[in-house]
Amino acid sequence: MKFSWGTRIAAVVCIAGLAAPAGPAEGSVNRGRVDDRYLPSSTFKIPNTLVALAEGVADGPDHVFPGPRDPFLVRGKEVLPEECNGDITLRDAFRLSCVNVYQEIAGQVGGKTYRRSLRRMDYGNERHSGAPGDSFWLEGDLAISAREQTAFLRRLHRHRLGFSHQTMREVADMMVTEDREGYVIRSKTGWVFSTEPQVGWWVGWVETPDDVVYFALNLDVLQPDHLAARTRIGRAILADLGVLPA
């Protein structure tokens, strides 16, 4: 693979051939970083949505959370689309990465339920601590590695997280970011803005007629255009492996 970010990037790709019962084949970029844990930031919207649906905070992807709500600020600046501040469905809040909506969800779920759910999902270090209950995935002690992200995604895809099959199917459907002839990408980006250096994530899986390919990439964000590099580099890695077209 033709990438030279040194220690500032890590990627794990697990290819689970549909006819390969022995288990997935794993490749990586910068093996020394793939087990380092970082805050999940908005990639936590995947498990957060599972919990919201399972606990009845939302009755489905089209559940409407009424506005208005205060905009979410990072260093005093609004960083979310205006749609996040008004009436919005769970599906659109996930798609637009509406932190302020998910903070409302967190307030209804509560810490006890999150701690139980983190253990049930075997999610990262499973810690619900170090920050207010509505931002523990943004600036608290919760952390997960690229390798752990792919393991979690594999369990989600294979309906092995302990939630109802309907709940896991609904979340997987909400994750679709690209649906083309020959492949479907289900994914979520994340931006850890509370650490130095900041960290960018892209996690998900690709479905092809022959394989399911789980992936997780994280990289240090040292300048603004590095956020766009999350998906650009991730797609290049997947294309290099023949998973996506070049």
Query: pLDDT value at position 16?
Result: 64
Q: What is the pTM of this model?
A: 0.93
Class of residue 36 by CB neighbours under 10 A (exposed 0-12, middle 13-18, buried 19+): middle
Which CATH number is associated with domain 6-240? Answer: 3.40.710.10
Q: For the chain, which residues make up each domain, given as ranges?
A: 6-240
Query: pLDDT value at position 1?
Result: 41
Per-residue tens of pLDDT for the chain, all 246 residues: 444 556 688 888 876 654 444 455 677 788 889 999 999 999 999 999 999 999 999 999 999 999 999 999 999 999 999 999 999 999 999 999 999 999 999 999 999 999 999 999 999 999 999 999 999 999 999 999 999 999 999 999 999 999 999 999 999 999 999 999 999 999 999 999 999 999 999 999 999 998 899 999 999 999 888 999 999 999 999 998 889 998
Question: What amino acid positions are annotated as catalytic residues?
Answer: 42
